[in-house]
Amino acid sequence: MPGFFMVFMAQRLLIIAGEPSGDHHGGDLAIELRKTMPDVELLGIGGDHMKDAGVELLYHVSQLAILGLTEIVKHLPFLRKVMNRLRDELRNDIDAVVLIDYPGFNLRVARVAKEMGVPVIYYICPQLWAWGERRVEKIRSFVDLPLVIFQFEKDFYHRFGIESDFVGHPLVDQVKITENDADFRRRNKIPSQIPIVALLPGSREQEVRQLLPTMLGVVRRVRENRAIAAVLGVAGNLPASLYDELILPEDNVIRVEGQTHELMAFAHNALVASGTATLELGFLGTPMTVLYRVSPVTYWLGRMLVKIENIALANIVLGKTVVPEFIQGDIDIEGIAATVERYLEDREHYLAVKHELSRIPAELGNTGASLRAAERIAEFLAVVELQGNGRSQLFP
């Protein structure tokens, strides 16, 4: 808050991220919160990034890695247990809840927190521009401070009379390339003259089971015509046995763990599960083919709710279909292989896609998203406490 000096008593914040990407964002936010509010106490749901940043975990994201409606139904007893635990924590002197993405679960938490009188901050707000206007009233009713990561999201909320803060996208800080192409290939025993096709089937077991076999089928088909290095980005939260089960020795797939951004940067093109990875690839300028497959019931319900044409974040940010999307029943090995071969053989097309993707960095804002979010949270809590129980004060 410009022109004011903030003095805080110790704050207890409940932070909830339900999947690996949210854990990464939550970890970066936790680091900045500790710098901004040195006495803050952080607890909640997250993964290793948040734990390493000093968040006391009540549950790990691996326990909540649920994809699709039918999977949620099977896990309802566990989800009720989690919600009951969160209710208990909210009764225990929590100053605010910080929700990170994961809207299906987190909007329920927002309602509970609001009913219990606990302020709600939403960092990386639900993609209401994709899901339609039905949930806008939930944000208005349950969220006290919406923090958005795309400028067009701020404009979207403003149209409905909801003021939000645009803090920029955290991946601008998170995407860091630590070595060059030659060193990356040498480290992973990838021949220097063969183009890399990255395989990025996601970080949840259901995604990997749904998509990796298709990706491997595409690799086999493309290799009938030319040599490629198939390099798999391994999710560190998943067991190696899962990949062992799906990959045959003759598939000749190189596995890379902990170097996903290098893989994205140095790949000629990528096969990728729809999600944040499409935006990371776009940010790095790497052409891709996007795959999305869930249970038939989940897909049917989703199509009833989703109000936008594209599903890949890279295409959504650019406002048009730049990279091909294969969704549900349209997932076909021959068709996907044709898009990969076109990237490899049609240089004019390949460069045109790279040119379109080069517009993405400007759409994501400047570096420092996590810091800006932490500072805005600190300002908000200072005002809440000044208006509430006086545990902090603002001095002009």
70 pLDDT exceeds 50?
no
Please tell me the distance from the alpha carbon of residue 332 to that of residue 329, in angstroms, as a whole number. 8
CA 348, 349, 353, 356 torsion-angle sign = positive
Q: How much of the chain exceeds pLDDT 70, in percent?
A: 87
Candidates 3.60.10.10, 3.40.50.2000, 3.30.420.10, 3.40.50.970; CATH matching 5-169+366-395: 3.40.50.2000
Reported as a single tens digit per residue, the pLDDT across 36-56 is 999 999 999 999 999 999 999
Q: Identify which of 305, 304, 1 has the alpha carbon closest to the alpha carbon of residue 132.
A: 305
pLDDT on residue 132: 59
pLDDT on residue 18: 87
Please tell me the distance from the alpha carbon of residue 83 to that of residue 67, in angstroms, as a whole number. 18
Residues 39-43: contacts with CB under 8 Å, at least 24 apart: 39/8, 39/9, 39/10, 39/11, 40/8, 40/10, 40/11, 40/12, 40/13, 41/10, 41/11, 41/12, 41/13, 42/13, 42/15, 43/12, 43/13, 43/14, 43/15, 43/89
Where does 178-363 sit in CATH, by number?
Answer: 3.40.50.2000
Confidence of residue 7 (pLDDT cuts 50, 70, 90): very low
Residues in contact with 289: Cβ distance below 8 Å, sequence separation at least 6, in sequence order = 269, 270, 271, 272, 323, 324, 326, 336, 339, 340, 343
Reported as a single tens digit per residue, the pLDDT across 190-231 is 999 899 999 999 988 989 999 999 999 999 999 999 999 999
Q: Which residue has the tokens 């003759």?
A: 250
Reported as a single tens digit per residue, the pLDDT across 157-201 is 898 899 999 999 999 999 989 999 999 999 999 999 899 999 999
Cα distances (Å, whole numbers) of residue 391 to 2, 5, 10, 256, 386: 20, 14, 9, 49, 7
pLDDT on residue 329: 80
Per-residue DSSP letter, 253: P
pLDDT on residue 126: 80
Please tell me the distance from the alpha carbon of residue 43 to that of residue 89, in angstroms, as a whole number. 9
Q: Which two three-digit tokens encode residue 93? A: 């002197």
> Among 105-119, 126-140, 246-260, which stretch is predicted with the lowest mean pLDDT?
126-140
Q: Which amino acid is residue 271, in one-letter code?
A: L
Please tell me the distance from the alpha carbon of residue 55 to that of residue 49, in angstroms, as a whole number. 9
Q: Count other Cβ atoms within 10 Å, centred on residue 393.
A: 14
Confidence of residue 318 (pLDDT cuts 50, 70, 90): very high
Q: Identify which of 208, 200, 344 has the alpha carbon closest to the alpha carbon of residue 280.
A: 200
* Residue 138 · residue 107 · CB < 8 Å: yes
Confidence of residue 328 (pLDDT cuts 50, 70, 90): confident
* Residue 137 · residue 143 · CB < 8 Å: no
pLDDT on residue 90: 96
Q: Count other Cβ atoms within 10 Å, centred on residue 177.
A: 14
* Residue 281 · residue 343 · CB < 8 Å: no
Burial of 144 (0-12, 13-18, 19+ CB in 10 A): middle
- The ranges of the chain annotated as CATH 3.40.50.2000 are 5-169+366-395, 178-363
Q: Identify which of 346, 175, 349 has the alpha carbon closest to the alpha carbon of residue 264.
A: 175
- Return the higher-pLDDT residue of 180 and 2: 180
